[in-house]
A = this chain, B = another copy of it.
Amino acid sequence: MNSGIITILTDFGTRDGYVGSCKGVIKQMAPHVEITDISHDIPAFDIEAAALALYNYYEYFPKGTIHLAIVDPGVGSDRQALILRTAGYTFVGPDNGLFHLIMENEAHTLYAIDKDVFLKGVKHATFHGRDLFAPAAARLALGHAPASFARQLPQRTDHGLRPFRKNNDGHIVVPVMSVDHFGNIIFAFNRQDLERMHMPRIKSIGFKGERIGGLVKYYSAEEPGRLLALWNSRDFLEIAVNGGNAARELQVDPGKDTLILEVE
């Protein structure tokens, strides 16, 4: 099962040629692979943003696709280099939380790459994208089994997700997960979380002093410039402004601000 596709997601930007060198390495090792750019504009070191982006696209690709994801502030240290395999897809990247939404979402097997296979004799320790992760992805695309250059790790129970919680009033307190390109604010609470509570109706949403009465289906269902909430295209709760930038208008601080959800 191999789609012949390797996708790439990084926080490298493109302008220094760092991504270019990763692509070159892959094409040199596996000339028939098709490389698909996802993004190189992940904010520098923003593992959380990369994790959500990855979750947004991974399962739309043909089964057998290899997803390479590199946001790697710990490059060169002893953090592990992972291969994660689900029923349909293979992921390659550093062990720092990048894959936590996938791990939470699907049964999977986890491997730690034997770094010496790739780094023996390499004198640099600052660019594992080029020297370790890209060659590992290329080798998988050529049909090598993970076990031929990685050892299986035990299952993990805590995937490090920031959870929502109930407060004293019985309301649900949800942290911001990410702010997207349009300024839409995405929260760590999804449609399935609500269904699991057997309280399937949202009565009101409070966020930064604003109160939203209920959910709409799409952005322009609300007046231009008005705040709205909806289940987004991946079923996460999202706050947006029709035709505007909600995060800018509300001056959102993703690390601090929380949403209060009243359900019934």
Q: Which residue of B lies closest to A61 (CB)?
A: B24
A37 contact set on B, CB distance < 8 A: 14, 37
B38 pairs with A17, CB closer than 8 A = yes
Which residues from B are CB-within-8-Å of A220?
Answer: 73-77
Q: Does A217 contact B (CB under 8 A)?
A: yes
Q: Which residue of B14, B53, B54, B65 contacts A41 across the interface (Cβ within 8 Å)? A: B14
Q: Does A31 contact B (CB under 8 A)?
A: yes
0/1 string, A17-59, CB within 8 A of B gives 1: 1111111110110010001111111111100010011111111
Q: Which residues of B contact A19 (CB under 8 A)?
A: 38-39
Stretch touching chain B among A5-13, A150-158, A205-213, A249-257: A5-13
Task: Tell me how far the C-beta of A12 lies from the nearest C-beta in chain B, rounded to whole angstroms.
Answer: 6
A230 in contact (CB, < 8 A)? yes
Q: Is residue A124 within 8 Å, beta carbon to beta carbon, of the partner chain?
A: yes
Does B126 lie within 8 Å of A232, measured CB to CB? yes
The verdict on A160 contacting chain B, using a C-beta distance below 8 Å, is no
The one of B27, B35, B76, B181 in contact with A13, judged by C-beta atoms closer than 8 angstroms, is: B181
- Across-interface contacts of A180 in B (CB, < 8 A): 13, 15-16, 18
The distance in angstroms between the C-alpha atoms of A45 and B182, with both chains bound, is 9
Alpha-carbon distance A5/B31, docked complex (angstroms): 10
Chain B hits for A218, CB < 8 A: 75-77, 125-126
State whether A60 touches B24 (Cβ < 8 A): yes
Do the beta carbons of B17 and A39 come within 8 Å of each other?
yes
Which A197-233 residues have a C-beta within 8 angstroms of B? 217-221, 230-233
User: In whole Å, how far is A11's beta carbon from the nearest beta carbon of chain B?
Assistant: 8
Is A108 interfacial (CB-CB < 8 Å)? no
A46: nearest chain-B partner, CB-CB: B15
Which of the residues B16, B127, B181 comes within 8 Å of A15, measured between beta carbons?
Answer: B181
Q: Is the CB of A17 within 8 A of B56?
A: yes
A101 to B63 CA separation, bound complex (whole angstroms):
39
CB pair A18–B77 under 8 Å, yes or no, is no
| Cα of A15 to Cα of B186 in the assembled complex, Å | 14
Partner of A61, one of B5, B28, B219: B28
Sample 6 A-B pairs with CB under 8 A, ordered by A number: A5-B27, A9-B17, A15-B53, A23-B60, A126-B217, A131-B233
Known: A75-B218, A126-B218. 9 other contacts (CB 8 A): A9-B20, A13-B39, A17-B54, A18-B180, A23-B36, A24-B59, A24-B62, A127-B233, A131-B233
